[in-house]
Amino acid sequence: MTPLISIVAPLYNERESFGPLIERLNALMDKLPYPVEVVLVDDGSRDNTADLIRLTALSDPRYHGVLLARNFGHQTAVTAGMAAARGTEAVLIIDGDLQDPPELLEEFYAHIQNGYDVVYAVRRKRKEGVLKRFAYSTFYRILKNISYVDIPLDSGDFSMVSRRVVDIMNKMPEESRFLRGMRSWIGFKQIGVEYERSERVAGVPKYSFKMLRRLAYNGIFNFSEFPVKFIIRTGAFAIGIALIYLIQTLVKKYVFGTVPQGFTALLFVIILFSGIQLMALGIIGEYVLRVFFQVKGRPLFVVREEIKDGAAGAPESMITYK
Pick from ligand UDP, Mg ion, none: which does 226 bind, CB < 5 to 8 A by kind?
A: none
Site string for ligand UDP, 5-44 (x = CB under 6 A): -----xxx-x----------------------------x-
DSSP 88-105: SSEEEE--TTSSS-GGGH
User: What minimum distance in Å lies between the beta carbon of 104 and ligand UDP?
Assistant: 16
Which amino acid, residue 300?
Answer: L
Contacts of 31 (CB under 8 A, 6+ apart): none
Counting contacts by CB under 6 A, is residue 205 touching ligand UDP? yes
Q: Are strands 36-42 and 118-123 parallel, antiparallel or unpaired?
A: unpaired
Counting contacts by CB under 6 A, is residue 123 touching ligand UDP? no
Counting contacts by CB under 5 A, is residue 97 touching Mg ion? yes
Counting contacts by CB under 6 A, is residue 82 touching ligand UDP? no
Nearest of 48, 44, 40, 49 to residue 70 by alpha carbon: 44
Nearest CB to ligand UDP, comparing residues 205 and 240: 205
Counting contacts by CB under 6 A, is residue 73 touching ligand UDP? yes
Rounded Cα–Cα distance for residues 124 and 126 (Å) = 7
Rounded Cα–Cα distance for residues 315 and 307 (Å) = 8
93-112: contacts with ligand UDP (CB under 6 A): 95-97, 99
Q: For the beta carbon of residue 152, count every other beta carbon within 10 angstroms.
A: 16
Helix (H, G, I), strand (E, B) or coil at 193: strand
Nearest CB to ligand UDP, comparing residues 69 and 312: 69
Counting contacts by CB under 5 A, is residue 99 touching Mg ion? yes
Q: Which stretch binds ligand UDP (CB under 6 A): 66-74, 138-146, 214-222, 235-243?
A: 66-74
- Binding residues for Mg ion, rule: CB under 5 A, are 95, 97, 99
